[in-house]
Structure formats: C-alpha cells, structure tokens
C-alpha cells in the first residue's frame, strides 16, 4: 500500500469499520422489514379472530362473527320485504291498500 505501516494499518482498520457498519446497516434494514411483516401479520390475525374488550376500547368481532351478523341482517330484510308485498292481508302493504280503497270510496260518496 503506502509503505508506512501505521498508515496501512489505519486504512485497513477504517475499511474494516466501514464494512462492519455497512453490514450492521443491512442487518438493521432486514430486521426492521421482518418486524413490520410480523406486525402486519398480527393485525391480520386480530382482524380475523377479533379482539376482546379492553378498558376504554370496545371488543371487535372477528370475521366469522361479522358474517353471522350479516346472516341475521338478511333474515331481518326478508321480514321487511314480506311487509312490502300484498300477501296474507296482514302485511303493511295490505293495510295501505285497504286505507287507499276506503279513502277512494269516501271520496266517491262525497261527490
């Protein structure tokens, strides 16, 4: 190299320090990426299974519980739809039709 042993050793030690620092930097980037991946996987698992209630934070139902709620909502919608069509004479639509017919009859009588 330079022929001066002290300078040569300083250059070698500096190069080694730079190499170690670069290796540590790459290791840090890798570990940080793995930590982010693991945190994201935990979030997905919590979304799937749900989380229990904590002080100040309500419980969050998981995917299967939410799907069960969708099924219950579909049953409620079926009951509402039943009321919107004329059927057994007891639905809301049947009552509206009866009121309309009564009002029409009263209007014809008033003329």
Q: Which of 14, 34, 52 is the last residue of a domain?
A: 52
Are 105 and 68 within one domain?
A: yes
Predicted confidence at residue 2, as pLDDT, reads 74
Q: Which of the listed residues 52, 70, 93 is the one where a domain comes to its end?
A: 52
Q: How many angstroms separate the most distant Cα atoms in the chain?
A: 125
* Domain coverage including residue 99: 61-111
- Count: domains in the chain: 2
Q: How far apart are the first and last CA of the chain?
A: 120
Check residue 10 and give its pLDDT: 94
Are residue 43 and residue 81 in the same domain, yes or no?
Answer: no
Under 8 Å between Cβ of 85 and 91: yes
Considering the domain architecture, whether residues 11 and 39 belong to the same structural domain is answered as yes
Same domain, 45 and 72: no
* The predicted structure's pLDDT at residue 35: 97
40/68 same-domain check: no
10-residue mean pLDDT profile of the chain (111 residues): values are 86 96 97 97 92 90 88 87 84 90 92 79
Domain co-membership, 48 together with 68: no
Cβ atoms 62, 48 nearer than 8 A: yes
Q: Are 68 and 39 found together in one domain?
A: no
pTM summary value: 0.51
């Amino acid at each position: 190299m330079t022929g001066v042993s002290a300078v040569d050793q300083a250059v070698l030690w500096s190069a080694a320090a730079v190499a170690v620092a670069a290796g540590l930097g790459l290791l840090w980037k890798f570990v940080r990426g793995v930590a982010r991946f693991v945190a994201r996987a935990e979030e997905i698992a919590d979304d799937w299974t749900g989380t229990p209630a904590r002080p100040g934070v309500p419980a969050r139902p998981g995917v299967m519980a939410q799907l069960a709620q969708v099924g219950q909502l579909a049953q409620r919608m079926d009951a509402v739809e039943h009321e919107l069509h004329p059927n057994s004479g007891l639905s809301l639509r049947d009552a509206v039709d009866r009121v309309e017919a009564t009002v029409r009859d009263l209007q014809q009588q008033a003329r």
